[in-house]
Amino acid sequence: MFHDYRRNNVFSLIILFAAVLLIVACGPKARQPVSQLDTPQHHVYTGVKLLDQEKYSDAQREFELALELDNKYSKAHTGIGLVKTYMTPADFKGAWDSLQKGAKYAHADDEILFGKVSNIRFYTQSKLEKKWLNLSMDEFDAAVKIDPKHSAAYYFMGLAYKQACDFNAAGQMFAKVLELKTDYVYQADREWNFIQKVQRAMPGSVTGKQIALVTRITRADAAALFMEELKIDVLYKKRTPKAFDTSFKDPEKAAQIAKQGKVTAKDIADHPLKADIEGILEIGVRGLENYPDGNYHPGEIITRAAYAMMLEDILIKVTGDNALATKFIGSNSPFPDLRADLPYFNAVMVVTSRGIMEAQDLTTGEFAPLKPVAGVDALLIIRKVKEGLKFN
């Protein structure tokens, strides 16, 4: 009986072993390389370059080719995690799963470093965690502990601080990349110059700091900048003469007007900058009025010409110099792309003659009136207005 029991156990083990062999045999086989450059390392190298060029589909193909050769290659899984992080729409759950798989197979220092930096990029892009910046800092600390001169860690931590509007810390990170002079030097130089512009603009509000990061400001952004950075309501109270209306008012009409409440727009009910937009509508700035349909169109992009017209209107109201509205009519245009008969010509001349705005391209002298206004440039212009009016 004992021998039968033993024989059955051996038989069971043989079946189990055969099943395992069958599963392994039926599993995906590694693809055989077709050339000397057909290696997991080369495909990942190419994939990272394509990723930095925002060619996400091409980058994913390279990472997948790496996995066909070695399905446990850490950097390939991590690279796919980055692709899923940046693609539109992003797949943050899938991205995290791939990043975790990359960490599971990471053994060498360069694989661990790539994973740590990729986690910083994931947290910065997704912001899924409330403490995403602290998590990024933890990954950064772990990375520089392995290699204190790892440029990628400093560069992407700089981008994290930039997104968190901690511009001083961001500047220090980009400066470190420039000091190391290895990877991401060009990108860090561009970012460092941007940070310098933001610091010169000195945004005083949280909203101002956030708008500094946008490449094209909207009508909503312009309202917020004038209300929170220029403090246009306070400026108007200080600089414009008080008007007293002593004429008779019909009590019923006065009550009707009072009932109407704030000036608002139909399409801003749930807008995060609703208070700023209503403030601007109440004050009245040319170019930031409601459209005839009663909508404000908060997402509409502001052009440089439109911004110049808004600034001209503010200057006229603050200085009381109504002659500014026609001061340059009939003058010759100093800008090759700006005709003197355009409706915004006078406004452009008013702001450029005062050094508030300048030609966008100093080489050609073009003003570029129809180009959008970047957030940091809008802030710098407001800083110049405040300095010119000696208002802080």
**What would the mean pLDDT of 195-201 be, rounded to a whole number?**
96
Phi, psi for 110 (deg, rounded to 5): -65, -30
Measure the CA–CA gap between 324 and 130, rounded to whole angstroms.
49
Q: Is the dihedral of CA 76, 97, 158, 381 positive or negative?
A: positive
Q: Note the pLDDT tens digit of each residue in 341-358.
A: 999 999 999 999 999 999
Domain 31-107 in CATH: superfamily? Tetratricopeptide repeat domain (1.25.40.10)
Residues with Cβ within 8 Å of 295's Cβ and at least 6 positions away in sequence, in order, are 265, 266, 267
**Is the pLDDT reported for residue 7 higher than 60?**
no
Locate 234 and state its tokens. 């306070």
Mean pLDDT across the stretch 334-340? 97
Phi, psi torsion values for 262, nearest 5 degrees: -65, 150
What does the alpha-carbon distance between residue 118 and residue 162 come to, in Å, rounded to a whole number?
17
**The architecture CATH gives domain 109-201:** Alpha Horseshoe (1.25)
Residue 303 backbone phi and psi in degrees, to 5: -90, 165
Confidence of residue 25 (pLDDT cuts 50, 70, 90): very low
Tokens for 123? 């947290």
Torsion 215-218-221-222 (CA) sign:
positive
**pLDDT, tens digit (0-9, with 9 covering 90-100), for 78-108:** 999 999 999 999 999 999 999 999 999 999 9
Domain ranges within the chain, ordered by starting residue: 31-107, 109-201, 218-241+258-389
Rounding to the nearest 10 degrees, give the CA dihedral for residues 259, 264, 265, 270: -110
Whole-number Å distance between alpha carbons of 32 and 60: 20
Q: Whole-number mean pLDDT of the chain?
A: 90
* Least confident residue range of 26-35, 124-133, 171-180, 326-335: 26-35
Euclidean distance between CA atoms 291 and 275, whole angstroms: 18
Name the nearest CA neighbour of 327 among 340, 338, 336, 314.
340
For residue 305, what pLDDT band results from cuts at 50, 70 and 90? Answer: very high
Q: Give pLDDT, residue 94.
A: 98
pLDDT, position 92: 98
Task: Give the C-alpha separation, 224 to 212, whole Å.
Answer: 12
With pLDDT > 70 as the criterion, what percentage of the chain qualifies?
86
pLDDT for the residue numbered 20:
46
Q: Kindly tell me if the per-residue pLDDT of 6 is higher than 70.
A: no
- 199 near 171, Cβ under 8 Å? yes
For residue 246, pLDDT beyond 90:
no
Least confident of 17-21, 33-37, 205-209, 345-349: 17-21
What pLDDT is recorded for position 14?
Answer: 55
pLDDT at 369 > cutoff 70 = yes
